[in-house]
């Protein structure tokens, strides 16, 4: 299902407007990210030889989907930095300190979309502004639309999963330590991962 962009079919002439897919149009609405069934994580190389994985346990977000004109769709996410979890308390404490995120001064990491496009099939790209600490820079996230369904409680859901790569130094996260054998303790490149389930808000009563 082409969620973010639709192309004319072979039978559509240049002067015709493509028909709206009813299933796509039915997705139109505002969705709240369900943190209990969503995850926002990261992977970073440690000591040049292995990967450290972590996630942020507290986050909230909103998706606004327009099934009749998908280019008008948008997304916003707020992530609580202090909720970082790599499985080691000392490392988590270092990450929220002034050496890295400085969570006391900058408690949130935010993303606000500015553009959405279809790459082909169910693959999409969302572009927007990622803010970490006091730095805002553009970020593109490649996503896979996993579909929509009504759960056992009657909630209408949509699902996405995706990833992006950033250089943490672009956002002022520059702490590091040199290794005796050469190289550094923490790589600059970080892979971000997103697994999102969002619930459609009930339509307002007339």
Rounded CA-CA distance 49/103 in Å is 28
The token pair that represents 171 in the structure block: 């956002």
What integer pLDDT is reported at residue 206 of this predicted model?
55
Report pLDDT for 7. 43
Tokens read off for 155: 């909630």
Q: How far apart are the first and last CA of the chain?
A: 30
List CB contacts of 67: < 8 A, sequence separation 6 or more: 3, 20, 21, 24, 25, 26, 27, 28
Closest CA to 161 of 37, 30, 2: 37
The token duo for 137 is 């820079």
Q: What is the pLDDT of residues 68-103, one digit of tens each?
A: 777 788 999 999 999 999 999 999 999 999 999 999
pLDDT at residue number 41: 97
Taking only the tens place, the pLDDT of each residue in 22-49 is 777 888 899 999 999 999 999 999 988 8
pLDDT tens-digit map of 100-133: 999 999 999 999 999 998 787 788 889 999 999 9
Alpha-carbon distance of 122 to 3, in angstroms, equals 8
Whether residue 20 has pLDDT greater than 70 = no
Can you tell me the distance from the alpha carbon of 40 to that of 75, in angstroms, rounded to the nearest whole number?
14
3-state SS, residue 180: coil
pLDDT at position 19 is 60
């Amino acid at each position: 299902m082409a969620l973010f962009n639709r192309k004319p079919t072979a039978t559509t002439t240049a002067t015709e407007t493509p028909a709206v897919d009813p299933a796509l149009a039915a997705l139109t609405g505002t969705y709240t990210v369900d943190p209990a069934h969503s995850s926002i994580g990261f992977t970073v190389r440690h000591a040049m030889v292995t990967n450290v994985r972590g996630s942020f346990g507290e986050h909230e977000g909103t998706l606004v989907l327009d099934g009749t004109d998908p280019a008008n769709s948008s997304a916003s996410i707020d992530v609580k930095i202090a909720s970082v979890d790599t499985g080691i308390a000392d490392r988590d404490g270092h990450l929220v300190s002034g050496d890295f995120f400085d969570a006391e001064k900058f408690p949130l990491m935010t993303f606000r979309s500015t553009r959405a496009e279809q790459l082909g099939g169910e693959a999409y790209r969302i572009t927007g502004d990622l803010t970490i600490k006091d730095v805002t820079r553009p970020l593109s996230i490649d996503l896979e639309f996993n579909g929509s369904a009504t759960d056992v409680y009657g909630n209408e859901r949509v699902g996405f999963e995706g990833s992006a790569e950033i250089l943490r130094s672009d956002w002022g996260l520059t702490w590091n330590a040199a290794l005796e054998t050469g190289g550094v303790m923490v790589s600059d490149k970080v892979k971000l991962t997103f697994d999102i389930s969002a619930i459609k808000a009930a339509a307002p009563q007339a």
